[in-house]
Structure 1
C-alpha cells in the first residue's frame, strides 16, 4: 500500500428539498455570484425559478451565464472568466451535472491566472487562488461535486483535457435525489457508466495489499449495479436514486484511491473520442472500458478474476483464470446493454476513419497514458479496433 494524504473539504448537503438552503448557504461566503448552468432543463423543471427565489430572499446579487454543453467548451469558460473579472465576482454557483460543474471550475481557475486558461489544461500547474465554487447537482455521474478536477474541450482542434487542484473542490454541494427524477433514461444510464468507470480506473492497479479499498470499490460497484437495475423498473424510486447519487460522489471523491495508484488510460482515450465526435462521456466509456479490459486483462489475471467473482458473482475457475476474467468482462458488457448503453463504436455510428487520428492525439502532450498498463499510440489503436 502506498503512502497517501487525503483531505476533502466539500460539505455535502444531502436529501429532499435541500436546494431550499442555497441562499442561506451562499450568504455565508458572499453577496454576489455567477450563476452557471446549461440549457432549458433547469427552467422546464422549475428548479431555476426556485433557485433565483432562494437567492433573492437573501439579497444575493446574481449574474448569469448559461449555455454549458455536454463536453463543456473552452470558449464559454473564457466568457465566464471575463464576466467574473468585469463584475468582481468571487463565487460561482453551478446548477447542473458534471459538465456545468467542470465549466464552473475552469472559470474559477482562470479568473486569477494571467495567461490563457488553456495553459492550465496542458502544461501549467495551478498555483494561484481559485474562486469558490458550490453546486446543486442534477445529474449524478461525474462526481465533480466533490472532486478536485475538471475536464474541458478546446474547439480549436477538439482537444479534451483535464486539470485539477485541491482548491477546485466545491465548498459545498447540494444533492437532492428528487432533482434527478426528470432525467431521461439514457442520461441516467450514461451517468451510471461514468461512475462505474471512475471506480474501475482505481480498481485496476498494480499496487498490492489494498484489500480494504478493493472491497470498497467492489461494494460500491455492486450497489450501483443493483440500484441501476431497480431504476430500470421504477425511475421514480427515491431510494434507488439516492443510492446512485451517493455512489457517484463516492466513486470520485478519492476515498477509493487511498493507498493505490489508479490507471486512467480509458478516460484519456475516451476524451479523444468524445472530443471529436461529441458523444456522451458515459456512452464513450461503456464502449471503451470493455475494449481496454480485453486488451490488458492478461497483465493481471488474478485481479480480473477477482473482479468477475466479487462484482458479478462468477465462480473462479482456478485452472483457467483467463476464462473467469473474460466472463467478468462479458458480464460488464451485458450490464451496459441492460442499461441501453452502447458497447461498440458501431452502435453510435462511428467507424474506423479517425481512430488513427485519435490515437496520435492521445499522446500529443505526453509519452503515454495509463499506469496499470502503459498505453501509447500503437496500443490505443488496438483498443479502438477492439471497440469497433
Structure 2
C-alpha cells in the first residue's frame, strides 16, 4: 500500500428529514447564498424545506446553474457574493451545483483572474464555507474538494481541487431523489461506478481492504442501480445508491492506491466540445479504454471480472473480454448509451477531441502516464 494522508471534514447528515439538523451548522452571522440549478427543487418540495431551514437567516438566491456549470454563469454568482457580503454558500442540487459552489467559494475573494484557478492551477488561500443539500447522487462532490467547470467561450472543461472548498456539511435525504428523471438516475449510477473504477482498475499494490471497499461499492451499484430505475420511490434502494455515490469519491477508497482518471479527462473533452452529459462521456470512453489498456490493467481486470461480475469460466483473456462487455452492458442497462455514434458523433469529430486534449496538456494520462494522443485516438476510434 502506498503512503497517504486522509481527512474528510464533511459532516454527513443522512436520512429522511435530516435537513432539520443543518440549521445549527450555519454560522451565527450567516449571510447565505442559496445556489441551485434549473428550478426542479421548486417543484419537488426541496426548495420549501431549504427556505424553512433559512427562516431568520439573511440569504440571497441564485438559480440557473447548468448541468455542466459554466464559468460565465458562476461569475454572475461571484459578483452577487461580492456585492452582498455573502459569507456562506448553501448549494442545493447535484454535483454540478455543488461544483459550482466550490468555484464561487474560491473565486469570491481571489485576487486575480478566477479562471486561472482552473486553467493554471492558481493558488488561493481562503474560501467561503459551503453546505450542501444533495438531490442527485452521482459525483460525490458533496463530500470532497473537487470541482469541474466549463468555459463556454474557450470550449474548455477544467478541474481544480482543494480542502478549502470541501463542504462542511451535506444533507443526504434519499426522499429528495424520488422525483429525479430516470435519465438522471442512470447517469448518476454510471458516474459513481466509473469513479470507483478510476481508483480500482489500475495495478495491485497489496491494498486488499481498499480493493474490497471498491468492489463492495461496485456490486451495490450493479445490484441497486436497476432497482432505482424500476422502483423510483423505494427508500432503501435510493438510500443505498446515494451512500454508494458518496463513498465512491469521498477520498477513502483512493487512499494508498494508484489512480487513473484518463476516462474522465478524455470524457471532459466530449462535454466541452459537444455538450454530452458527463456520465454519457464516461460510458463511451471507459470500455474501449479498458480494452486498449488491458495489459497494464490485466491483474485488476481479472479481479473485476472474477470478484465483481462473478465470471469464472474461460482463459484470462476471455475473462477480461467478458468483464469489459459486462461493464458496457451495465451502462446500457442503466439507459446510458456507450457509442459515439449513439450521440451522432463520427470519425471526423475525433480530430477535434484529440486537438483539445493536446491544447489542454492531456497528453500523458492514466496511472502510468502512458495514454498519449495516439492511444487516446485509438480509444475514441474503438468507441465509434
What SS is found at the alignment partner of 2:293? helix
In 1, Cα distance between equivalents of 2:60 and 2:327? 44
In 2, Cα distance between equivalents of 1:241 and 1:29? 33
Residue 375 of structure 1: how far off its partner (Å): 1.6
1:33 aligns with 2:32: yes
Query: What pairs up with 1:72-151 in 2 under 5 angstroms?
Result: 72-151=69-148
Question: Deviations 1:154-178 (Å, cap 9, x if unpaired)?
Answer: 0122100100001111000000000
Where does residue 203 of structure 1 map in the other structure?
Answer: 200
Over the aligned positions, Cα root-mean-square deviation in angstroms equals: 1.4
Where does residue 319 of structure 2 map in the other structure?
Answer: 324
Q: Is the 8 A contact 2:193 2:248 kept in 1?
A: yes
Query: What pairs up with 1:372-383 in 2 under 5 angstroms?
Result: 372=368, 374-383=370-379
Where does residue 357 of structure 2 map in the other structure?
Answer: 362
Where does residue 21 of structure 1 map in the other structure?
Answer: 21
Where does residue 328 of structure 2 map in the other structure?
Answer: 333
Q: Which runs of 5+ in 1 are unaligned?
A: none
Q: Report the TM-score when normalising by structure 1.
A: 0.96
Q: Is the 8 A contact 1:296 1:373 kept in 2?
A: no
In 2, Cα distance between equivalents of 1:85 and 1:162? 23
Q: Is the 8 A contact 2:110 2:124 kept in 1?
A: no
Residue 29 of structure 1: how far off its partner (Å): 5.1
In 2, Cα distance between equivalents of 1:207 and 1:79? 45
1:386 aligns with 2:382: yes
Question: Deviations 1:359-385 (Å, cap 9, x if unpaired)?
Answer: 121132334222245222211111111
Provide the aligned length of Structure 1 versus Structure 2. 383
Query: What pairs up with 1:3-22 in 2 under 5 angstroms?
Result: 3-22=3-22
Q: Is the 8 A contact 2:35 2:91 kept in 1?
A: yes
What SS is found at the alignment partner of 1:135? strand
Equivalent of residue 338 in structure 2, options 343, 359, 368: 343
Q: Is the 8 A contact 2:204 2:300 kept in 1?
A: no
Structure 1 window deviating more from structure 2 (17-26 vs 293-302): it is 17-26
Give every structure 1 segment of 4 or more consecutive aligned residues whose post-TM-superposition deviation is greater than 4 Å. Answer: none
Where does residue 240 of structure 2 map in the other structure?
Answer: 243
What SS is found at the alignment partner of 1:299? coil
1:161 aligns with 2:158: yes
Residue 306 of structure 1: how far off its partner (Å): 1.0
In 2, Cα distance between equivalents of 1:20 and 1:346? 46
Q: Which runs of 5+ in 2 are unaligned?
A: none
Where does residue 224 of structure 1 map in the other structure?
Answer: 221
Structure 1 window deviating more from structure 2 (337-346 vs 369-378): it is 369-378
In 1, Cα distance between equivalents of 2:137 and 2:24? 24
Residue 316 of structure 1: how far off its partner (Å): 5.2
What SS is found at the alignment partner of 1:174? strand
Question: Deviations 1:246-293 (Å, cap 9, x if unpaired)?
Answer: 000000001001111200000000000011111111111111111211
Q: Is the 8 A contact 2:105 2:130 kept in 1?
A: yes
Where does residue 300 of structure 1 map in the other structure?
Answer: 297
Q: Is the 8 A contact 1:298 1:322 kept in 2?
A: no
What SS is found at the alignment partner of 2:348? coil
In 1, Cα distance between equivalents of 2:296 and 2:25? 48
Q: Report the TM-score when normalising by structure 2.
A: 0.97
Q: Is the 8 A contact 1:126 1:164 kept in 2?
A: no
In 2, Cα distance between equivalents of 1:209 and 1:29? 47
What SS is found at the alignment partner of 1:145? helix
Question: Deviations 1:194-222 (Å, cap 9, x if unpaired)?
Answer: 00010000012235212111111111100
Question: Deviations 1:304-351 (Å, cap 9, x if unpaired)?
Answer: 11111111000053xx31111010010111111111110111112222
What SS is found at the alignment partner of 1:356? helix
Q: Is the 8 A contact 1:71 1:152 kept in 2?
A: yes
Q: Is the 8 A contact 2:23 2:53 kept in 1?
A: yes
Question: Deviations 1:57-98 (Å, cap 9, x if unpaired)?
Answer: xx1111111111111000112111111111111110000000
Where does residue 52 of structure 1 map in the other structure?
Answer: 51
